[in-house]
Amino acid sequence: MKTIAIIGPESSGKTTLCQSLAEHFHAPWVPEYGRTYLENLERDINADDLVRIAMGHTSEIARTRQFANELLFIDTDIANIKIWSELQYDYCDPDLLQLWQEERHDFYLLNTPDLEWEPDPLRQFPDLQSREMLFLVYEQDLKMRDLPYGIVTGDGAKRWKTAVELVEAQL
């Protein structure tokens, strides 16, 4: 079984692409655990929450893996949480770092921030410059860890075609 993680800055179409690819390839997908966690949080987030989110993310992947055959799609990865921790708190918990170091997927689709910004209470970087900077941070993380990835860019049919071709090349 191959795991494919869809990553990228806020509002780059990760969830939509992940869900659509899972449907197209008749495979399960793991929604972004952090979104579920934060939507149910009745206080401001803190650095300790990020470890809980990473652990929940890992648990959801393990749980969903049981139902996967050839492919499993994953909406974001722990690098997202690590990067956010470093940006927001200028700190990354050792337990979070450990989970980040252990997480490896077979392939990553890195979404560019070239889609129109969609407001969301959980998003913090509406300006394109910040999202482009985050894209570079994600790409640097993939390169530093020597992880295989492809870049998904454009909108509509172009974005979809690129993503499908990249996934098919992994089969």
Domain spans of the chain, in order of start: 2-168
Over the range 68-88, which residues count as b (16 or more CB within 10 Å of their CB) and which as e? beebbbbbbbbbbbbbbbeee
pLDDT of residue 39 exceeding 50, the answer is yes
Which CATH architecture is the domain 2-168 placed in?
A: 3-Layer(aba) Sandwich (3.40)
User: Cα-Cα-Cα-Cα dihedral of 124, 97, 112, 136, to 10°?
Assistant: 100
pLDDT score at 42: 85
pLDDT one-digit tens code per residue, 103-159: 999 999 999 988 665 655 554 555 557 778 889 999 999 999 999 999 999 888 999
pLDDT one-digit tens code per residue, 56-104: 999 999 999 999 999 999 999 999 899 989 988 999 999 999 999 999 9
Cβ neighbours of residue 158 closer than 8 Å, sequence gap 6 or more: none
